């Protein structure tokens, strides 16, 4: 799987997509572009408009304004042609609790007019195997854990071959092993040519499985592109490990870098025994790292560690939305 899919035809494209609920604008004129073959992460705080956008893409909610094209076709007008090519797990799976996992999938599959009945049993078995639920195929769903129900929902989305898979929080409720299984499943689907659109609040998951991402804030699309481009758009950070923290801050500030807040350091009584501390600052591409290091050494700052790193996806998210992000698994 590579990032070089930006010139492929779009799997999802919106122009000016808007959704209003009375006087409240939940989605405000967004222009999404999801390349075919990508694993596309859809990020944003709760209430930012992610699920409302997904519901409009799938024809589950009408748009107040704007245009939607899914797999090259206008939605919702071409929904009957498009939706059989799309698998989706939105707002958590819902099943008949007193039926087994396999029976639930068979019943759902029978409602698909494009699904051949003669291969139903084999397809159900294969879908359950792909998500690691073969051992629970005959168990009633009421006995399933939340994570098992989540995987059953993904199995339902995979009953027939799909060109596009839309997953809303696909690792919700999964233990670490289940999370790894879903992550590997998404990778294998992408390698097979399926476009995967993933809405998630787990930044670590987006970082590990996605090639592209978009960030929503207050109903607006504030950034989108490859993960590499999103990181590059942030300001690099300099970190200096030194016992001379006060002097290091002065030098970095004199170079025009934005130094992280820190209490002023009093000169140590015994400089040779003073502990190392980290001094961090935000820089830009106009100052080369070697120039920064040379200025520090020239000012007598003892450097015991020096690094320059690009902005993380989490830092870009916080900078664009002003909100923290849950990065725990």
- Is pLDDT of 275 > 60? no
**Residue 327 included in any domain:** no
Which structural domain, as residue segments, surrounds residue 155? Answer: 10-232
Residues 226 and 128 both lie in one domain: yes
In three-state secondary structure terms, 166 is strand
pLDDT band at 7 (very low <50, low <70, confident <90, very high): very low
Q: What is the mean pLDDT of residues 262-270?
A: 45
pLDDT digits (tens, 9 = 90+) for 281-323: 877 667 888 889 999 999 999 999 988 876 666 666 666 666 5
One domain, residues 247 and 126: no
Q: Is the pLDDT of residue 227 over 80?
A: yes
- Which pLDDT value is given to residue 99? 96
Residue at which a domain ends, from 168, 197, 232: 232
Same domain assignment for residues 216 and 291: no
Q: Which pLDDT score is estimated for 141? A: 95
Residue 300: burial class (beta carbons within 10 Å; 0-12, 13-18, 19+): exposed
- Within-domain flag for 149: yes
Does residue 54 sit within a domain?
A: yes
- Domain assignment present for residue 147? The answer is yes
Alpha helices in the chain, H assignment, sequence order = 50-57, 79-82, 101-110, 120-130, 146-157, 176-191, 203-209, 227-232, 245-254, 289-298, 313-321
Its pTM stands at 0.73
In this structure, are 289 and 251 located in the same domain?
yes
Query: Hey, CA dihedral for 188, 315, 283, 224, is it positive or negative?
Result: positive
If pLDDT is split at 50, 70 and 90, which confidence band does 138 have?
very high
pLDDT: is 85 or 45 the higher one? 85
Structural domain contains residue 322:
no
CATH number at residue 134: 3.40.50.300
Are 189 and 285 members of one domain? no
pLDDT of residue 243: 92
Tally of domains within the chain: 2
What is the average pLDDT across 173-181? 78
d(CA 36, CA 6): 8
Q: pLDDT digits over 22-69, tens only?
A: 999 999 999 999 999 999 999 888 788 999 999 999 999 999 999 999
How far is the C-alpha of 57 from the C-alpha of 40, rounded, in Å? 14
Q: What Cα–Cα distance (Å) separates residue 91 from each residue in 24, 50, 54, 84, 276?
A: 21, 11, 10, 19, 49
Looking at the fold, whether 133 and 220 belong to one and the same domain comes out as yes
Rounded to whole angstroms, the Cα distance separating 221 from 200 reads 15
3-state DSSP percent of the chain in helix, strand and coil, to 5: 35, 25, 40
**Domain end (from 232, 266, 284):** 232
Q: What backbone torsions phi and psi does residue 106 show, to the nearest 5 degrees?
A: -65, -40
Same domain, 165 and 301: no
Lowest-confidence segment of 73-77, 112-116, 133-137, 268-272 by average pLDDT: 268-272
Residue 4 in this model has a pLDDT that exceeds 50: no
The pLDDT tens digits of the residues spanning 184-200 come to 888 888 888 899 999 98
CATH number at residue 290: 3.30.70
Q: Which residues contact 233 (CB under 8 A, 6 or more apart)?
A: 223, 225, 311, 316
Same domain, 227 and 242: no
| Among the listed residues 329, 323, 267, the one whose alpha carbon sits nearest the alpha carbon of residue 300 | 267
Q: What is residue 324's predicted lDDT score, i.e. its pLDDT?
A: 52
263/203 same-domain check: no
What are φ and ψ of residue 85, in 5° steps? -95, 0
Domain presence at residue 273 = yes
Residue 244 backbone phi and psi in degrees, to 5: -100, 65
Q: End-to-end alpha-carbon separation of the chain, Å?
A: 23
Whether 35 is in a domain gets the answer yes
User: What rounded mean pLDDT belongs to the chain?
Assistant: 84
Does the residue 24 lie in any domain?
A: yes
Tell me what pLDDT residue 67 has.
96
């Amino acid at each position: 799987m590579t990032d070089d899919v930006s010139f492929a035809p779009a799997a999802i494209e919106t122009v000016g997509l808007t959704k209003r609920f009375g006087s409240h604008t939940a989605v405000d004129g967004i222009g999404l572009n999801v390349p075919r073959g990508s694993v596309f992460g859809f990020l944003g705080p709760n209430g930012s408009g992610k699920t409302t956008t997904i519901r409009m893409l799938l024809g589950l909610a009408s748009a107040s304004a704007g245009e939607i094209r899914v797999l090259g076709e206008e939605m919702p007008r071409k929904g009957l042609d498009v939706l059989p090519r799309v698998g989706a797990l939105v707002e958590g799976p819902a099943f008949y609790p007193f039926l087994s996992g396999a029976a639930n999938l068979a019943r759902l599959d029978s409602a698909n007019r494009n699904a051949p009945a003669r291969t139903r049993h084999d397809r159900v078995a294969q879908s359950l195997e792909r998500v690691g639920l073969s051992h629970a195929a005959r168990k009633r769903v009421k006995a399933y854990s939340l994570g098992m129900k989540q995987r059953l929902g993904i199995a339902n989305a995979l009953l027939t071959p799909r060109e596009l898979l839309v997953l809303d929080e696909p690792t919700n409720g999964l233990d670490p092993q289940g999370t790894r299984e879903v992550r590997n499943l998404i990778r294998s689907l992408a390698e097979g040519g399926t476009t995967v659109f993933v809405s998630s609040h787990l930044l670590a998951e987006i970082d590990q499985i996605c090639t592209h991402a978009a960030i929503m804030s207050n109903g607006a699309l504030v950034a989108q592109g490859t993960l590499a481009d999103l990181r590059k758009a942030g300001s690099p950070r300099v970190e200096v490990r030194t016992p001379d923290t006060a002097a290091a801050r002065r030098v970095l500030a004199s170079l025009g870098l934005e130094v992280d807040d820190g209490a002023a350091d009093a000169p140590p009584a015994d400089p040779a025994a003073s502990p190392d501390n980290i001094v961090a600052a935000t820089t830009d591409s106009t100052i080369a790292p070697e120039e920064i290091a040379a200025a520090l050494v020239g000012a007598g700052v003892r450097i015991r560690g020096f690094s320059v790193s690009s902005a993380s996806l989490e830092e870009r998210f916080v900078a664009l939305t002003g909100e923290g992000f849950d990065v725990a698994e």
